[in-house]
Structures are given as structure tokens and as C-alpha cells.
Chains A and B, each alone.
Chain A
């Protein structure tokens, strides 16, 4: 593990890239949220890898468990908002969310 943690961080960066690319290019609200989930996976992996390298896994695990709990709350609220948006507009297309224009 002396040098393989660079490998883990490289894969974390790749996951981050996939998530950000999804956020920048997709138009479906659920797809956008899948992008956010992928970014959160990259963050979890980076935290656990950091804890493993520093030989401080207990703290890293506590942090990641807190992160997962907050992530679940965020997912529940965001999916409820997505369902409400669908009821209002009849579509999941973000291009149709133009009613908030001033």
C-alpha cells in the first residue's frame, strides 16, 4: 500500500470526472442525480483510502458513515423534489423548468 494509494486516488479522480461530466451534459433530472451519487462514491473512496494510508481507519470509517447518513437524507429529499417537479411539469427534462424565470 506504499504506492498503490496513488492508484486509488487516480480512480477517485476518474469517478469524479464521470460524475461532473454527467452533471454538465445530461438533461434528465434522475440522470443528474445519478451523477451526484457517483461523485459521492468518489469522496467515500478517497476518505477511506486516506484513512488506510494514515493508519487511522477508525476515524475515516466514522466520517464515511456520517457521510452516508447525510447522503441518504439528501437522496430522499432530492427524489421527493424530483417527483414534485414531474407532477408540475409532466416531464423530467430540466429544459422545461423555465417557469422560475424572472
Chain B
């Protein structure tokens, strides 16, 4: 229980760092650290497949994409962020956490019944490969759409067809 809470606090802490740090590279690395925390939480929740995906894809691939983008958009004149949102963030965040604690406590005391549903008995492989048909096709379509979009966006200029 203590480990779970420590991981959750680490996840929120690294996420806060990712938005508060002015250096984009450090912010991207904080985001990767938050992903690793999330993956460890997934392992603790008995969801190892998602944990592996989270570490390899989100903490690995997306961080590489972020760092590549930061390297390609190195600007001498940095974006001037207003300091006020960063200064008042802790106040808003603490107020939100207090509201959050009260709401969750009230929900816990009310003891609301969960939504009806049957527990799954089939193993992960059966659910992942056999129970999905059209969403798998949609997922492949999304991947191809992403690939072609990136190709279209990085098309070399200069060839005028007019």
C-alpha cells in the first residue's frame, strides 16, 4: 500500500515537473520518468502487458520523438512564458487536491454500488486477438493514417506542378 502511494505520488510529482520546468529537454525526461512510474503502477495492478507497452512505447518511443522534435526546433529566442501561471499553480493545485480528497471521501462513505458487469474469465490473449475484429482494422487504419500524414508533412518542397 505504501509502495503504491509512493508510486502514485511520484507519477504526479514528475508530471508537475514536466510542466513546471522551463527547459524542454528536462520536461521531456520528466515525462518519461512519469511513464516509468505509471508502468510500475500497472505491474502492481497485475497488468503486465500494458506495463511493457508503457515502458517500451510511451517511455521509449514517444520520448525519443519528443527529444528529436526539441532538437529540430532549437530556437535562439525561447518562447517567453508568463511567470504568473507557474507561481499560482501550487495554490490551484492544493485547492484542487483538497476538493479531490473531500469528494473521494464522500464517495467512499456513500458506498455507491459499482456499475453492473460480469467479471472477465478469459485470458488476455483470447480477449486481445479473438474478441476484437473491427477495432483492430480501425487501429491498423490509424497507424497507416499516421504514417502517411508524417510522409505528407515532410514532403520535400520545390516541385511545383502548375
Nearest CB in chain A: distance from B33 CB, A? 12
Closest 3 A-B residue pairs measured CB to CB? Answer: A73-B146, A25-B85, A56-B120
Q: What's the Cα separation between A71 and B63 when bound, in Å?
A: 13
Interface string of B128-140 (1 = CB under 8 A from A): 1001100100010
Contact B18 A34 (CB under 8 A): yes
> Which of these, A3, A37, A54, A77, contacts B117 with CB under 8 Å?
A54
Q: A58-B126, A58-B128, A69-B142 are in contact. List 13 more A-B contacts (CB 8 A).
A: A15-B12, A21-B19, A41-B15, A45-B38, A49-B45, A55-B119, A56-B117, A65-B49, A70-B139, A73-B145, A73-B146, A83-B73, A92-B75
A66 adjacent to B69 (CB under 8 Å): no
Q: Is the CB of A15 within 8 A of B15?
A: yes
CB neighbors of A among B78-112 (8 A):
79-82, 85, 89, 92-93, 96-97, 100-101, 104, 107-108
A-B contacts, 26 of them at CB < 8 A, read A4-B1, A13-B96, A18-B15, A21-B85, A25-B85, A26-B19, A27-B82, A30-B27, A30-B70, A30-B73, A31-B24, A31-B81, A41-B38, A44-B54, A55-B119, A62-B127, A62-B128, A68-B54, A68-B58, A73-B146, A76-B150, A79-B65, A79-B66, A80-B149, A80-B154, A86-B72
